[in-house]
Structure 1
Amino acid sequence: MCGRFSLTATPEEVQELFGLEEIEGFPPRYNIAPTQPILIVAGDLRRAEGDNRTNRRALLARWGFLPGWVKDPNDFPLLINARSETAAEKASFRAAMRHRRVLVAASGFYEWHRPPKGSKQKSTPYWIRPSGGGVVAFAGLMETYVSADGTEIDTAAILTVGPNAEVAPIHDRMPVVIRPEDFSRWLDCLNQEPRHVADLMAPAPDGYFEAIRVSDLVNKVANSGPEVQKPVEGAEAEPAAAPAAKKRSKPSKAPSDQMKLL
């Protein structure tokens, strides 16, 4: 599961990585939570002869996927993640897997290690980022939901997969990472069916991420500054040796009335 993440890269860094023609400015965001707007990249790389431009575009979407057939969003669960192993068959995600695959721009994500059952210890948060720093692209799905009154809202979910070596001691799921050389194939929903991109939905290579123990500040959405990524020093900062249990406490949700990054 991915329940919080961060995007602290500059707009210029995001623009360069994703090959965007243009992008609006945005501030660093250290503690992105469900229902908040997230930056996604849609469109595939289809060039006309002699044209080096791409048709990729950056847009904002609510982190919380809403299938088009939902009648009342208030009666539908908040879908922030989709299991990559089953998304192509699930009613909620099947159409988006075929027609609306996107990339989610991030600098890393947070995960909580749950203590053994019966323990009085609290869940332990970790900041998990690329070992070399920089921007990472999570595999995502989007859907434009149209409400009964005609209002449209772009919504998105992050695809998850089993963990790699760095994440396994903390949690049993992690976001699917799409490498830059695979952006075009992932985004090309015209020619690439879900079965053609199934190989991309694998754990990131061992060593790709580093896990950093951070304080409980990240538990609260209101804490949105760089202090939430400050490492906790000492032996207590080391991840546990065994994978975490599947059931975990959920971090608090953010208000859903804002669709801007400022």
Structure 2
Amino acid sequence: MCGRFALKNSPREVEALLGLAEVEDFPPRYNIAPTQPILTVIAGPSRPRGSNLPDRETLLVRWGLWPSWVKKPKELPLLINARSETAAEKAAFRAAMRHRRALIPASGFYEWRRDGSGRSQPFWVQPRSGGLVAFAGLVETWIEPGGSEIDTGAIMTTAASSDLASIHHRMPVVIRPEDFARWLDCRSYEPRHVADLLTAVEAGFFEVIPVSDKVNSVANTGPDIQEPVELPAPATKAQQLQLF
């Protein structure tokens, strides 16, 4: 799954990766959590042939998708992730998968490995080559009874690559730059036409860095939460026998 991520790269880097004319300045964000606003990129209005204007635009959305048909969204489970294998059929995501696919720029994400005792070790997962990635996202607009509109979104996930599976069995879907246009083009491409994009990146694409449990608290938002920590050495057989 993806329950926390970061966007610490500059707005100019986001513009360069996603082919945007201008992104409003924003500070680095090291601990983005559910229900907070997240930056998404969606297809813009159609442009005349030969136009130099960008055909993509940014949108800030609430992280946690509210389907348009929900009457009381606060009673809905928190839909921060959408399973790529079933999103096209699930009532909560079907319309967004057909009409409102998005890209979510990220510097990386956090994942937790749980052991048998219930304890968990957090990891910072970032592209091995550095830079930014774009997660596959879905956007839905919910209209409250008074007429106000709230844009909401979710990150799509898939089965984890072999090198990440030991930490968690799911991971965000990464859309490659050469596939941005096809993923965002909901006019020409139905969900079945982009299903091939919803797979895990190859093993080795990401590097995994153990970090402290500072990231567990949404109040901790500084770069120190990404500082590497040393994992404890595995218990020896003698130490394990002493537990019984």
TM-score clears 0.5: yes
Take 1:12 and 1:165, find their aligned partners in 2: how far apart are those partners? Answer: 33
| 1:86-165 matches, cutoff 5 A | 86-116=86-116, 119=117, 122-165=119-162
Q: Which has the higher contact order (CA 8 A, sep 6+)?
A: 1
> SS in structure 2 opposite 1:50?
coil
| 1:147-186 matches, cutoff 5 A | 147-186=144-183
Aligned with residue 228 of structure 1, among 216, 220, 225 = 225
> SS in structure 1 opposite 2:95?
helix
Take 2:146 and 2:93, find their aligned partners in 1: how far apart are those partners? Answer: 24
| 1:186-197 matches, cutoff 5 A | 186-197=183-194
Do the aligned partners of 1:7 and 1:107 also contact (CA within 8 Å) in 2?
yes
One-letter code aligned to 2:232: E
C-alpha displacement of 1:47: 5.7
Q: From the superposition, tell whether residues 115 and 9 of structure 1 become closer, same or farther in structure 2 (CA, over 3 Å).
A: same
Take 1:99 and 1:237, find their aligned partners in 2: how far apart are those partners? Answer: 49
> SS in structure 2 opposite 1:236?
coil
Q: From the superposition, tell whether residues 192 and 45 of structure 1 become closer, same or farther in structure 2 (CA, over 3 Å).
A: farther
Take 1:50 and 1:177, find their aligned partners in 2: how far apart are those partners? Answer: 29
Runs of 4 or more off by more than 2 Å in structure 1? 44-54, 235-238
One-letter code aligned to 1:218: V
Do the aligned partners of 1:101 and 1:186 also contact (CA within 8 Å) in 2?
yes
* Consecutive unaligned residues in structure 1, runs of 5 or more: 239-262
Do the aligned partners of 1:68 and 1:146 also contact (CA within 8 Å) in 2?
yes
Once the two structures are superposed, residues 194-252 of structure 1 have per-residue CA deviations (whole angstroms, 9 ceiling, x without a partner) of: 0000000000111110110000000000000001100003x5399xxxxxxxxxxxxxx
Take 1:237 and 1:160, find their aligned partners in 2: how far apart are those partners? Answer: 31
One-letter code aligned to 2:82: A
Aligned with residue 208 of structure 1, among 193, 205, 208 = 205
Which of structures 1 and 2 has the bigger CA Rg? 2
* Number of matched pairs: 234
C-alpha displacement of 1:80: 0.2
C-alpha displacement of 1:50: 2.4
More strand by percentage: 2
Sequence identity, in percent? 62
C-alpha displacement of 1:45: 9.5
C-alpha displacement of 1:165: 2.4
- Partner residue, 1:32: 32
C-alpha displacement of 1:21: 1.2
C-alpha displacement of 1:53: 3.1
> SS in structure 1 opposite 2:232?
helix
* Consecutive unaligned residues in structure 2, runs of 5 or more: 235-244
TM-score, structure 1 as length reference: 0.86
